[in-house]
Structure 1
């Protein structure tokens, strides 16, 4: 490099960059996202330079990303001019180049994958919280969306980098399940995730040895015979990626299976990675994905989506659904809405009637509690909201029992214990309280009559969270909607109760009847 090209030592806060290689390429300066070039090749170039961290000959970069008869050298120069405003600072040039070579200067830049590798190499062993955080950060596909940006050599490099990231995640999971401070319930969950990530792993601790007496044993893993035909690698075979809502919020979504698409609107208490290892959602999702391309996403403020968001309102929830459908370029598809996700589906169907081929609404409602309950009930719910904000993130599950006992009053102790722990992992105490407030404000009663898609509404007769009358009102407001009462008290059905089988059969018959 020429002396004039070397950057000065800069430590100014406004120069510090955070670069995410895990998931879609993302650059942030001072906590704010920096817009990336629309060109996939330019983004691939930046990802390659950042990930490798070394100089590359211009000819090599041209061969990786551009083909004749185009002008590769001109294309490289153009891409570099687009990338410099993204990463450079007036006092610090990060894209360094001379007539022969190009490199990225990572000084004062935090790169997620490099940071994780450094923490794994450090003498100090990470604690449980650090290991959990690293495992979650390593879950998305490295440089997602850039597979076809270059030639075969670029794809080979990309696949090798992704394999290295997978190996790093397996190592993180291995350390996590062996950590002596890992709680028993978490140990069961992370052991299953480790085994799914690395089926050849040896020395995995025995779940039962660490499980509390209240749990009769771990729930079945996704992919066993009763899951409807998915392989044992159900967790691994789902593809997690990210899209961006209009306000810049990153929304995590996952796809699994093949065939006609079915998109599930987000509802509270989901986590794309952990859902498949839970006894709550696992078999339900596996059954749906048996012969379809099943798509689901984590709500903003929840799961793998951005937690630190300004807007947790209903319109934002609908925009998140729109962002996922647009990202995947879905043309016409049925929607599945559970709990408050039903109202989101209704609103989306009214806004986009040409895209929605059918609505499946389970345990849903058209108007939130602020519109429907007495003054006494409002006071009770506001008290619960305050308790949630204070105690949600603590080790004491009593605060979360408030929800688990009403979501699944007839569930067994293993499901309830899982649900308590799962709630803590899905969102922050502050967001848990904000969600309760947001759901109370929902009101799509005036939109029901405008739904044109075939609709089926399923609701537990003795639902202790959302009364049957609210499900009946939802169905009666939608023209020609089919209503199916379910013989259960659970708001979230569990797979061993007869109502679950009734629900799955009714959904399948509905889809077949309407050719969806």
Structure 2
């Protein structure tokens, strides 16, 4: 276990210290290093680095509500890079982590060698009202002390039933927000992040001069396939690859994600 202090917060991170260019891999909303380290297994030639965002995983504290934003999360990643004194690195993420990676690439492109956006969940605006509502109702239930069985209460909500019908994986993801030990005290992230966005002008994507891999899958309303296609259309030097949806097979999804990332980072120059 390793921590570094930034903004008076102890950030948890893992660095497998393998030889090769460092790859910083960022998790999704409500996730942790277990998600990214679990998908991106130790790989020869890749120095895998993962971090828990503020208010996630072992980085329990987040500071003020205003700090729950893409800009701040990207600045936290920059602090880790400075702490580790990385001269060159790859950067990527899943869902919210993809948004943070995009934000970072637009604001701090220096020394970035490659960019990976896995299952992007944002365009250049906040998430759709349906997604915002799904997370806001999780927030409301978490903060209602009169509700004892919070998962059961959420399952009764129309928005959950709608999302679950669209994708069983989406339903599982939303219910998973209740499993975090500090879910209630960090629940503001479920309101702040969906109403924020990585950036607000897609034309800025055209300025990226970094080889980029974009991964997308169908049957995933939290991470629409069309968002991946849109990013691919605007980002020069980008490659878009379809992977199996978690709704179809979590095992195939993980295998295909890893193989695509590993190939992009090591084999394609």
Normalising by structure 1, we get a TM-score of 0.44
Q: Does 1:268 align with 2:23?
A: no
The match for 2:168 is 409
1:267/1:299 contact within 8 Å kept = no
SS at match of 1:302: coil
Residue of structure 1 aligned with 2:109, choices 345, 353, 356: 353
Q: How does 1:278-427 map to 2 (within 5 A)?
A: 283-286=38-41, 289-291=42-44, 292-310=46-64, 311-367=67-123, 371=126, 373=128, 382-390=136-144, 396-398=150-152, 402=160, 405=164, 409=168, 423-425=178-180, 427=182
- Structure 1 pair 349/407, CA: closer, same or farther in 2 (3 Å)? farther
Pairwise CA distance, 1:341: 1.2
- Structure 1 pair 427/457, CA: closer, same or farther in 2 (3 Å)? farther
Larger strand proportion of the pair: 2
- Per-residue CA deviations over 1:212-232 (Å, capped at 9, x if unaligned) read xxxxxxxxxxxxxxxxxxxxx
Aligned Cα RMSD in Å? 3.4
Q: How does 1:185-264 map to 2 (within 5 A)?
A: 240-245=1-6, 247-260=7-20, 261-264=22-25
Normalising by structure 2, we get a TM-score of 0.79
Q: Distance in 1 between matches of 2:26 and 2:166?
A: 19
2:24/2:48 contact within 8 Å kept = yes
SS at match of 1:251: strand
Q: Distance in 1 between matches of 2:223 and 2:184?
A: 22
2:37/2:50 contact within 8 Å kept = no
Q: Distance in 1 between matches of 2:165 and 2:69?
A: 24
SS at match of 2:255: helix
List alignment gaps of at least 5 residues for structure 2: none
- Structure 1 pair 452/409, CA: closer, same or farther in 2 (3 Å)? same
Q: Distance in 1 between matches of 2:5 and 2:118?
A: 27
- Per-residue CA deviations over 1:141-197 (Å, capped at 9, x if unaligned) read xxxxxxxxxxxxxxxxxxxxxxxxxxxxxxxxxxxxxxxxxxxxxxxxxxxxxxxxx
- Structure 1 pair 254/399, CA: closer, same or farther in 2 (3 Å)? farther
SS at match of 2:40: helix
Q: Does 1:439 align with 2:194?
A: yes
Q: Distance in 2 between matches of 1:347 and 1:394?
A: 38
SS at match of 1:343: helix
- The count of aligned residue pairs is 256
1:299/1:305 contact within 8 Å kept = yes
Q: How does 1:54-73 map to 2 (within 5 A)?
A: none
Pairwise CA distance, 1:489: 4.9
Q: Distance in 2 between matches of 1:312 and 1:405?
A: 27
SS at match of 1:473: helix
Pairwise CA distance, 1:257: 5.0
Q: How does 1:83-232 map to 2 (within 5 A)?
A: none
> Bigger radius of gyration, 1 or 2?
1
- Structure 1 pair 257/508, CA: closer, same or farther in 2 (3 Å)? same
Structure with bigger RCO (C-alpha 8 Å, 6+ apart):
2
- Per-residue CA deviations over 1:299-353 (Å, capped at 9, x if unaligned) read 1011111425112122211111011111111111111211011121112122332
SS at match of 2:54: coil
List alignment gaps of at least 5 residues for structure 1: 1-239
